[in-house]
Structure 1
């Protein structure tokens, strides 16, 4: 079969069939979780849909990839961190926590990109460049990340304080509740 040309900005569609196989509609081939991870690493925009119901399964597939990566060696998440994340489910702060983690991750990616750009200027690229840079500047990086985490924690505490303070926000508005009608008494 001929491969369809990909339009700029087009979302790649992966269909998941009842036999649990994943089918890439762009390349007309079956793919694995490893292939999907490759799409993520290449910053490809994609969506995974259930072939029968059209239910969006993208998050489920991404979580499966994270689970495999966590089980495969050096995990990113500690048991304590995972427990803390689980405690936020069903909590009134759940939405705020997701937003906070997303912004924190984006900040970390921005730092990573800046350091990568700086290492290219030094003539090094790739994972070896990161190892060299971190070994040379380990105390500096630890200080940078420590400062970033302190600022992040302070921001989160301020957001909590503002939310707690906003609970009484509407008490000072000049609002008079409607008078009860005499007919209901």
Structure 2
């Protein structure tokens, strides 16, 4: 049976305020071992930990390499293949086109910020919807309802602001780069 990892209280880099990460070890036989519960778990259980907001880190049991991103991508791949995909082929193709492009870093940050804002908006929506009757909820969910328009308008405004900030940041970096080459913006 795999050994337990030392707890984060022995790790000097562990922050006092940060929640302790759930360490999952991935073995060569593709099995996942949860060091917190000392049990083997499935990819579906890792997905549920993520859904529940648990900070998860997946490590290669042999090398210690961080495999978290590849496991999260595997979960996304299974979700995309399993019924109602979130991304269209066109969206996926556009994301692929940004790899290796000068805008790659900006696109990742932009998508991350938008997903975060959407999650926060969804949480506020869920909070406001508590105690709503099914009839009121159905009214709210109609795209032409004033509440839905307000909610979507707020999200769209935040998304626009995030894009504007990214654009300003790119302009500043471009100006700095041109100045470094002895060229000035006219």
TM > 0.5 fold call:
yes
Supply the distance in 1 between the matched residues of 2:87 and 2:157 (Cα, whole angstroms). 19
Shift of 1:170: 6.9
| Structure 1 pair 111–158 and aligned structure 2 pair: CA distance change class (3 A) | closer
Kept after mapping to 1: 8 A contact 2:113/2:162: no
Please tell me whether the aligned partners of residues 26 and 58 of structure 2 are also in contact (alpha carbons under 8 angstroms): yes
Work out which of the residue numbers 96, 100, 107 in structure 2 matches 1:90.
100
Shift of 1:130: 10
Partner of 2:53, secondary structure, is coil
Distance 1:158 1:30 in 2: 44
Q: How far has the Cα of 1:156 moved from its partner?
A: 2.2
Alignment of 1:1-185 (within 5 A): 9-122=19-132, 132=138, 134-135=140-141, 137-140=142-145, 141=148, 144-145=151-152, 148-149=155-156, 152-153=159-160, 155-156=162-163, 159-160=166-167, 163-164=170-171, 166-169=173-176
Deviates more, 1:150-159 or 1:85-94: 150-159
SS at match of 1:30: strand
**Residue ranges of structure 2 left out of the alignment (5+ in a row):** 10-17
Please list the CA deviations of residues 63-90 of structure 1 after superposition, one character each: whole Å capped at 9, or x if unmatched. 1111111111111101111111111101
8 Å CA contact 1:48, 1:56 repeated in 2: yes
Q: Give the Å deviation of 1:155.
A: 4.7
What is the Cα-based RMSD across aligned positions, in Å? 3.5
Q: Is the 8 A contact 1:11 1:47 kept in 2?
A: yes
* Cα distance between partner residues in 2 of 1:58 and 1:95: 19
Greater C-alpha radius of gyration: 1
C-alpha deviation, 1:171, in angstroms: 6.4
With normalisation by structure 1, the TM-score equals 0.75
Report the alpha carbon displacement of residue 142 of structure 1 after superposing the two structures with TM. 5.5
SS at match of 1:156: helix
Q: Distance in 1 between matches of 2:135 and 2:116?
A: 22
Shift of 1:42: 1.0
